[in-house]
């Protein structure tokens, strides 16, 4: 199943990308409000979204296309909120939103570290832990939540900087291994260190954990002012989701400035070839340490978000699995594309959570699966949903790495548009006669480029 054949099939029904997307948008909104059957509405909306994704119009820049894709995905997700409003699944959507925010922050952190600079950081969860624990501890001990949050993200940044300074001189793969270990060490530390346990008004806990963590703006929310202003189905968790979305927005703005600046260009050069960047006069190590700190800042914000989502944090919240989930969202979204991190997290979280919906021992699917397993090995224990989740996520990751390693929203080239200096777009160059005749092996390997 090559992508080429899919594109060939699509050719007759291919129209201008912007027109196609506008129609799809209109259809999505129409379906949302006109179709009473929720399942049908969701499926049709999803089809409209997929249609936007499989378009492959060369007439627009990658940036335009990616922006439309992002807009379509986010719109689709928000429309699902409206469709599912009065169903039992509205709760599912709110929880999904919270974790989308969480994983977007983690994926953004990875995008700065790996997508931009090429650092193979498998210690995301360590950065998250520091952010969560510092925010949680300080606010439980009475510090205003906002300041606790600031200390939390700064703590994660400083921690990441220290780790980077001591271990980043290692080669990529060794650093990756060390970074996994650091997360685990920190988790064990959390298990045994009494001063990292607390609940409001008491520091003497016998079991590890931080309990009753205060949530941001809870007082403001309870003052009911906001309840009147918003929809009737507003609840605090949804409100928390919006707070998280706001944090994501700020992180996104900051990372975007870095991305599309000379600084970002320098970081990309490090990603492409550390040695050459060094030989061209740049102090590579310094930049890598700074970038680890920024990635810590963002992952730390994710940690604070996690503390607010769970209210109670224990060492079990910080298993290495979180790191690999973050990498999955990052790869699905598109390494090197900030907007892609939102898309990647939406897809990842929905997949992960949807497979959880199957967690019903009586469902046809689970019964079928169980009888199959029992048939293969009568001694085997019953299948648990936690394994199924991992299988689904793993399979999707493999499919992406195999068929679309650049992810849903591929990286965009930085092409400075400066007054009066117009250069032709990549791929559309008209070769001058002399270079053409001298080209011994001109390649045109960007033709088969595909987005899905």
Partner 1 sequence: MSNILEIKNLYKYFGGIRAIDNLSMQVRENSLTALIGPNGCGKSTLFNVISGVLKADSGSIKFNGTELIGLQPNEINHLGLSRTFQDTKLFQNLTVVENMMLPPKHQKGEKLINIFKSKEKVDEMETELLDKALDILDLLEIRHMGYEYTKNLSGGQSKLVDLARILMSDPKMLLLDEPTAGVNPALTEKLFQKIFEMKNKLNLTVMIIEHDMDVIMRDEVDYVFVSNLGNIVAQGIPKEVQKNKDVIEAYLGK
Residues of this chain that interact with partner 1 (CB under 8 A) are: 257-258, 261-263, 265-266, 268-269, 272-273, 275-284, 290, 411, 413-416, 418-419, 421, 423-427, 429-432, 434-435, 437-446
- For the residues of 130-143, what is the DSSP string, one character each? HHHHHHHHHHHTT-
Which one, 92 or 285, has the nearer CB to partner 1? 285
Nearer to partner 1, 262 or 381 (CB): 262
Following DSSP, what letter does each residue of 64-114 receive, concatenated? HHHHHHHHHHHHHHHHHHHHTTTSTTHHHHHHHHHHHHHHHHHHHHHIIII
Classify residue 443 by burial, with Cβ atoms within 10 Å: 0-12, 13-18, 19+: exposed
**Which CB sits closer to partner 1, 49 or 116?**
116
The candidate with the shortest Cα–Cα distance to 124, out of 351, 306, 298, 309, is 298
Tell me the C-alpha distance between 277 and 376, whole Å: 55
CA 304/CA 138 separation, integer angstroms: 11
Q: Yes or no: say if 73 and 49 are a contact pair by the CB < 8 Å rule.
A: yes
Per-residue burial over 323-338, b = 16 or more CB atoms within 10 Å of its CB, e = otherwise: bbbbbbbbbbbbbbbb
Compute CA 35 distance to the chain's CA centroid, rounded to the nearest angstrom: 31
Q: How far is the CB of 202 from partner 1 (least distance, A)?
A: 42
**CB of 209: closest distance to partner 1 in angstroms?**
37
User: Considering the complex, what minimum distance in angstroms separates the CB of residue 328 from partner 1?
Assistant: 22
Distance CA(414)–CA(76), nearest Å, equals 28
Nearer to partner 1, 42 or 409 (CB): 409
**Residue nearer to partner 1 on the CB measure, 215 or 451:** 451
Residue 163 host element (H or E): helix 145-167
Q: Which is nearer to partner 1, 321 or 423 (CB)?
A: 423
CB of 258 to partner 1, least distance (A): 7
Q: Which residues pair with 190 in a beta bridge?
A: none
Query: Least separation, in Å, of the C-beta of 381 and partner 1?
Result: 47
What's the min distance (Å) between Cβ of 446 and partner 1?
Answer: 5
How far, in whole angstroms, is CA 15 from its chain's centroid? 31
Q: Pick the closer one to partner 1 by CB: 187 or 288.
A: 288
Nearest to 213 by CA among 323, 93, 305, 151: 305
Closest C-alpha to 301, from 350, 354, 245, 348: 245
Closer of 225 and 250 to partner 1 (Cβ): 250
Residue 445 Cβ, how far from partner 1 at the closest point, in Å? 6
Report the distance separating Cα 275 and Cα 272, nearest Å.
Answer: 9
């Amino acid at each position: 199943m090559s992508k080429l054949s899919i594109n060939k099939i699509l050719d007759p029904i291919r129209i201008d990308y912007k027109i196609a997307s506008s129609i799809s948008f209109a259809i999505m909104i129409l379906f949302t409000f006109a179709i009473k059957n929720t399942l049908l509405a969701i499926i049709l909306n999803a089809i409209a979204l997929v249609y936007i994704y499989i378009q492959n119009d060369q007439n627009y820049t990658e940036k335009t296309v990616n922006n439309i894709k992002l807009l379509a995905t986010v719109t689709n997700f928000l429309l699902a909120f409206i469709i599912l409003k009065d169903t039992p699944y509205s709760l599912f959507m709110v929880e999904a939103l919270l974790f989308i925010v969480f994983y977007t922050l983690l994926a953004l952190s990875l995008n700065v570290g790996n997508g931009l600079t090429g650092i193979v950081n498998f210690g995301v969860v360590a950065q998250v832990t520091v952010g969560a624990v510092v925010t949680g501890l300080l606010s439980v001990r009475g510090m205003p939540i906002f300041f606790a949050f600031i200390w939390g993200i700064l703590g994660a940044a400083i921690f990441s900087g220290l780790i980077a300074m001591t271990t980043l001189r290692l080669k990529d793969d060794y650093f990756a291994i060390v970074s996994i270990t650091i997360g685990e060490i920190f988790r064990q530390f959390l298990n045994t260190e009494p001063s990292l346990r607390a609940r409001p008004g008491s520091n003497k806990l016998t079991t590890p954990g931080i309990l009753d963590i205060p949530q941001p703006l809870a007082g403001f929310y309870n003052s009911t002012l906001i309840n009147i202003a918003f929809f009737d189905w507003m609840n605090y968790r949804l409100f928390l989701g919006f707070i998280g979305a706001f944090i994501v927005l700020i992180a996104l703005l900051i990372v975007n400035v870095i991305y599309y600046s000379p600084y970002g260009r320098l970081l990309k050069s490090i990603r492409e070839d550390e040695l050459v960047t060094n030989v061209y006069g740049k102090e590579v190590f310094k930049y890598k340490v700074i970038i680890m700190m920024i990635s810590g800042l963002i992952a730390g914000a994710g940690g604070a978000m996690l503390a607010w989502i769970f209210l109670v944090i224990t060492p079990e919240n910080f298993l290495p699995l979180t790191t690999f989930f973050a990498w999955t969202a990052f790869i699905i979204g598109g390494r090197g594309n900030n907007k892609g991190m939102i898309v990647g997290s939406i897809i990842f979280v929905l997949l992960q959570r949807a497979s959880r919906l199957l967690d019903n021992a009586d469902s046809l699917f689970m019964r079928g699966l169980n009888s199959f397993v029992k048939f293969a090995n009568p001694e085997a224990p019953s299948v648990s949903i936690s394994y199924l989740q991992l299988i689904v996520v793993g399979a999707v990751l493999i499919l992406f790495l195999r068929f679309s390693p650049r992810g849903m929203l591929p990286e965009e080239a930085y092409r400075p548009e400066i007054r009066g200096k117009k250069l032709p777009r990549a791929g559309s160059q008209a070769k001058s006669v002399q270079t053409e005749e001298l080209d011994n092996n001109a390649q045109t390997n960007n033709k088969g480029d595909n987005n899905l």
